[in-house]
Chain A
């Protein structure tokens, strides 16, 4: 089979995944969420600024200013790279060296 045929098979497999995803995620789910969310209050009322207002019921969330609600994975810069590299290192250490240890002990035959 030539390279083009192989690429076509990969594309078909990806299309299958995307098709499943589109069937699983309703198209209007996000729109509904966007419609239903409260308006952002980016400035503080005088009462809130003075600290006399009950903050628990307040819609003012200055920490969200300029950001979308609902969590944003785009937070973090190079710290994110270090975090992900650390996660990968821990997994490698646990799995690769764990497997080697099990093999040495002959605890799991098929390893």
Chain B
């Protein structure tokens, strides 16, 4: 029973790690539309939106638990984390919404014509710059988990794979 629970936790942790890695890389790529090109920037951001929703769903129990006892007995680090996450949610919503309002690929593809508004463009840039700082803080607050999980799911498998042929060779020679 305990092994099953451990395996479930491990799988969940791996899923969280993969989702977070995709979000992190996608966000960094999405902040440079000139490098990727406008269409890739927009489609990547749409994918990012889906991944952020998945990220929220994966952490739903934590959101509910902290929301219930935010003003009660809860560790200050959790409270700061919660407030930061609310800020991040607002910021990402602004980025996505203003991005849709100035879209040149995705929205026209749906046959929609939105009124041109330069305020959305400057707001999109400002919110994305704020997003870089907020995501940096979000990563910093979870840095211990990131390091631990990276070792477990990224570094250790690579090291194992690199050492495997050498071990096999040594066994054959014997």
Interface residues of A (CB under 8 A from B): 3, 6-7, 10, 13-14, 17-18, 21, 25, 27, 29-31, 33-34, 68, 70-81, 84-85, 87-92, 94-96, 99, 110-111
Contacts and interface: CB of A to CB of B under 8 A. Distances in A.
Nearest to A34: B118
Nearest to A71: B122
Interface of B: 28-29, 31-35, 53, 56-57, 60, 75-77, 89-90, 93-94, 96-97, 115-126, 128-129, 132-133, 135-137, 139-141, 143-144
A3 B57 CA distance: 8
A80 B93 contact: no
Contacts of A72: 121, 125
A80 B34 contact: yes
Contacts of A88: 132, 135-136, 139
A13 B120 CA distance: 20
Contact of A70 (B35, B118, B128, B137): B118
Nearest to A29: B119
Nearest to B24: A88
B140 A91 contact: yes
Name the 8 nearest CB pairs between A and B, nearest first.
Answer: A73-B125, A91-B136, A95-B140, A96-B143, A77-B35, A80-B32, A30-B117, A88-B136
Contacts of B116: 30, 34
A30 B135 contact: no
A1 to B, nearest CB: 8
A7 B57 contact: yes
Nearest to B136: A91
